[in-house]
Chains A and B, each alone.
Chain A
Amino acid sequence: MKPAPFEYVRATQLGDALAALASDDDAKVIAGGQSLVPLMALRLARPALLVDVNDLPLDTVEVANNEVRLGSLVRHVRLERDAVVVRAAPLLAEAAALIGYPAIRNRGTLGGSVAHADPAAELPAALVALDGVVLAEGREGTRRISARDFFEGFLTTVLAPDELVVGVQVPVAAERHGASFREWAPRAGDFAVAGVAVVIELDAGGVCVSLGAAACGVGSTPVDLHEVLTDAGVLGASDVGDSLLRSTAQAAARTARGDDDREQLVGLLTAAALHDAFARARGGDASGTGVAA
């Protein structure tokens, strides 16, 4: 369990990092290393060159123009605890808290999780649910890629080999915003067998006027549930009663087609996340079981 030989360069300028990435077809970016290093130790990944980006000034959290812009070197622990993130993007904070263990969250980065594109990972699904944007820097400049278009397949994205994820952007949570990320894993901290993120916004009359949802662990990419929930009647609903929870769950479950166990879990988790999101959007919980974000 020792990695195959590789070269290593530590970039201090974005341009240097991009040049290094372009210099070798088998170059890989290393930030937190929480996915890449184990894969290298197993010799499942054999990059010829590691480009260390930890010195780049990308550990940033900014709110402007009703958008939260997060640098790609923001560690999961910061997503989990940063007061700005917790207030402006509570779904990301909740998703980050579900990643691995504290030691992993201390090192793992937002950009790393997004670029690695593990379909079981929480942050890609949360970004899809939030209709976020991935900011990719290449030598030709910055591309803004919708999270819904970014993930192509198992561990693959639309990112070019010489592009670097420098950040993500999500809308700031509105006043009657409710978000929930529910997952099932064998143990606390394991990869989720299935997880569902739901984010909604209610108008002053308590009617759902905006929604996003996505599942992780189910397909080869995060599965966008926006349309499924919309068709199920969540958009425009002012309450989630038992029958809406059941029909939405049933519709969401179908996205895990062919896998009885994941169908069951996605259904349950969708209902739970939807219920939580409504309770939180109302600023409290009518049933007394929810936790305000």
Chain B
Amino acid sequence: MIGARTLRREDPRLLTGRGSYLADHDVPGLCHIALWRSPVAHARIRSIDTAAAAALPGVVAVLTQADLDAAGARPMTHLLPIPGVQPLAWGVLAQEVVRFVGEPLVAVVAASRAIAEDAVDVLVVDYDELPPVVDVHAALEFGAPLLYPEWGTNEFLHLDYATDGLDDALARAPHVRTERFESHRIAALPLEGHGAQASFDPATGTLTVLASQQQPHQLRTVIAEVCSLSEGEVRVIAPDMGGGFGNKQHFTREECLVALLARITGRPVRWSQDRGEGLTASIHSRPQVHDATFGYDDDGRVLALSVRVVSDLGNPVLYFSGVGPSLVTVGALCGGYAIEHHGWSLSCVATTTCPVGGYRGFGQPQSHLTTERVMDLVAADLGIDPAEVRRRNLLPDAPRPFIAHGGARIDVGPLGPQLDQLLDSFQYDAWRERQRAMRDAGRYVGIGLSTLVQGTAPTQYGVAGRGGSYETAIVSVLPDGNVTVAVGSKSQGQSHETVLAQIAAEMLGTTVDRVVVRDGDTALLPNGMGTWGSRTAVMAGGAVRVAAGRVRDKMTAIAAHMGGAPTLEAVAAEAWWHAHRLPAGIEPGLSATVCYTPGRTIPIPDAAGHTSFDETFGSHMTAVAVEVCPATGDVSVLDALLVSDCGVVINPMVVEGQHQGGFAQGLGAVLYEEVRYSDDGQPQCTTLADYTIPTAIEVPRLRVVHRETHSGTEGGFRGVGEAAITAAPAALAGAVADALAPLGVTITSTRLHAHHLRALLRAAGVEPDPAAFAIA
């Protein structure tokens, strides 16, 4: 069962159009919400005239934050347990000042979304424009316009870290170099946008909220707070989800707004994000600039790495905002390398752009880009093969856990053998030969490497102030011997109905088709933490395994008491129907509720000042070969291979799907996607014609090779979902840099889009020959 390529049990439903997503939940009398969103980057609101909008037939209500305040709405906050963070609370709607194009100011509830949009059209909002703050470095300059004048700066958070002796180590290093690496802004863009629908039952005082949300239980807590209800009065249901990718782990203003409006209007209401809102007024991700100073010796050993990270938060009115990913970035800058001296500074900066937040990878693609580019530059500078430079810097095979800077307990398997396996499986030496031959023929081929060591199943405490590190599961064997599993994790497409059933079936000695997995409903379980951070296999998988084990132990005791070799069905019937025959001290029924934690994190600094945020680590090594057309800048992936170690593999097909999907997103980020703003803060990507994501045509196959180093968590699992999306940008940047090095082009950012490469090539004086292009 564990390790089998069990076909996805959710596929017959999802692939035949029988999934039930947020907008598939029409109810009688359902009203729809549209929002007046700021058309300018920064403005002070003078007046709002809602009369014409409210008078349109079909309009139920037009509300501003003042109306929500009058109805008792409470503000939202970050819950960041970090000293020095600037004070910030915000309303569900903006009030007085808007600070990005798309910030919601007025909500319309109407009989249809079209009518609601008609009403938004006739709202009259009078405002005085304020100066925009778009560029993150300009935002830090003295005299820059301030988003929140009370801070006296646009810097929302500043943190520093350095090992003792960092400066000396850099001063003593035989070679020192400083380079800038930039990760550009992108959008996660789940196929199904964000959305929520709520109805309030005055008879029971219960608010039911459907939300396309990765953490339904924690959304329950936030909505209860904003609406002044108790958690028992709020039920959150997350139906089938068309992707989440970390974007839907944030608790958004709109979700809280829907809950408030259901209470205020007494009508069932829905807000279903459209693509324009999704691209401009939802959640962006990744924008960071790293200035890395690194010292290394003649053998290519990196002795010291110091990185200044400037992280653009947009307007940080988003639960944990871009700060969460930024904290992960600075914790992961050394990656899987043993670098003796290390330091970083982190500036998290507010700008008048869309809030920045989580996206699969959560700060790691940025750190990994820097780490891997450093290795490549050291290799290029010294004339040593980049694979060899990596080998010389990888974490030693012992001890385990390896205690990283800051205290992270890295528990991966031996990395040298994994690198050997990568080079062997990819036929690295043969690719280097081919690269030379193709270069001689005027073709620009490059090879990129990534040796990712990645924390998985993190505690939420350091980022969000509460939540910790656990997951809840209820495993029940029903009277007829069939099994139900309820979990607090929430599938957004990750195959949980399959893999959690595999775990339960294996533990209970039954078959997968007799197990039903349910998630996404706060009525199923008292609490849960949802799905994010590559945590579900480790945390929910662990919880299911422990719970199923308890049920199995009880069944074993009952079976022994029954005598003979009773079937599972017979034991189940005995447990539920024949309580009088059970052994002494055994309760009737076959159900176990488990709140599982591996207990391996250190969320609050210990006596040594250490923190460790991840329950376990995965190691994933990737090689890609690309060809770059120097005339058009087109990048073609010739081969891509990933050697994956996520501990015990529950279902290899699912792991391969995770890697393929992550690779598609990582490749899309660097070759096709970019969120752009004009200098005055106008978003330049408002439709999918401007924000170009790769289609099936553009996404090459990623070959996956499995290794299994058991983790010390229940079942031996490690997280896997964020590996390839983290590896791909770094590996592709390395490959493109390698391909174009003979032409004098240097790659310092994730902008590997054809038009950016053409500009870099032109800047390097490369003039393509039209005749050669025509004949090629």
Contact = CB atoms under 8 A, between A and B. Distances in A.
B762 A249 contact: no
A270 B770 contact: yes
Interface stretch (A146-154, A181-189, A217-225): A181-189
A242 B768 CA distance: 13
Contact of A188 (B698, B753, B773): B698
A268 to B, nearest CB: 5
Interface string B429-463: 00000000000000000000000000000000000
B605 to A, nearest CB: 47
A261 B687 contact: no
A268 B114 contact: no
A1 interface: yes
Nearest to A287: B775
B753 A186 contact: yes
Given A271-B773, A287-B775, A4 B121 contact: yes
B679 interface: no
A190 B117 CA distance: 29
A119 to B, nearest CB: 14
A5 B335 CA distance: 55
Contacts of B694: 187
Contacts of A261: 755, 758-759, 762
B6 interface: no
Interface string B673-704: 00000000000001101001011011000000
B274 interface: yes
A267 B755 CA distance: 15
B672 A242 contact: no
B631 interface: yes
A268 B695 CA distance: 26
Given A187-B672, A187-B694, A268-B768, A5 B773 contact: no
B675 to A, nearest CB: 15
A160 to B, nearest CB: 29
A246 B767 CA distance: 12
Nearest to A252: B770
B189 to A, nearest CB: 15
B769 interface: yes
Contacts of A271: 770-771, 773-774
Size band of the interface chain B makes with A: 20 to 34
B632 interface: yes
B276 A1 contact: yes
B304 to A, nearest CB: 40
Given A1-B276, A43-B121, A268-B631, A186 B771 contact: no
A265 B632 contact: yes
B391 interface: no
Nearest to A253: B770
B180 interface: no
B113 interface: yes
A289 interface: yes
A243 B697 CA distance: 35
B291 interface: no
Among A1, A188, A245, A261, residue most surrounded by chain B Cβ atoms (within 10 Å):
A1
A285 to B, nearest CB: 10
Contacts of B117: 1-2, 43
Interface string A258-289: 00110011011011101110000000000101
B754 interface: yes
B770 A246 contact: yes
B754 A3 contact: no
B755 A275 contact: no
A268 B759 contact: no
Interface residues of A, number: 37
B697 A188 contact: yes
Contacts of B695: 187-189
B10 interface: no
A244 to B, nearest CB: 9
B275 interface: yes
Contacts of A276: 774
Contacts of A187: 672, 692, 694-695, 697-698
B166 to A, nearest CB: 42
Given A2-B113, A4-B118, A186-B754, A268 B274 contact: no
Contacts of B692: 186-187, 190
Interface in B115-153: 117-118, 121
Interface in B202-256: none
B697 A246 contact: no
A128 to B, nearest CB: 21
B774 A274 contact: yes
B118 A5 contact: yes
Contacts of A249: 770-771
A290 to B, nearest CB: 10
A275 B775 contact: yes
Interface in A1-30: 1-5
Contacts of A191: 689
Interface in A197-251: 241-243, 245-246, 249-250
Interface string B746-776: 0000000111001100100000111101111
A268 B672 contact: no
Interface in A29-65: 38, 42-43
Nearest to A191: B689
Contacts of B774: 245, 268, 271-272, 274-276
A212 B755 CA distance: 28
B631 A42 contact: no
A145 interface: no
Nearest to B758: A261
A44 to B, nearest CB: 10
11 contacts: A1-B275, A5-B118, A186-B672, A245-B770, A246-B769, A249-B770, A261-B762, A268-B773, A271-B770, A271-B774, A289-B776
Interface of A: 1-5, 38, 42-43, 184, 186-191, 193, 241-243, 245-246, 249-250, 260-261, 264-265, 267-268, 270-272, 274-276, 287, 289
Given A38-B687, A43-B117, A186-B672, 12 more contacts: A1-B274, A2-B117, A3-B114, A184-B632, A188-B695, A189-B697, A193-B755, A241-B771, A249-B771, A260-B762, A261-B758, A272-B774
Interface of B: 112-114, 117-118, 121, 274-276, 631-632, 672, 686-687, 689, 692, 694-695, 697-698, 753-755, 758-759, 762, 768-771, 773-776
List of 6 A-B pairs having minimum Cβ-Cβ separation, nearest first: A271-B770, A249-B770, A275-B774, A2-B114, A242-B771, A271-B774
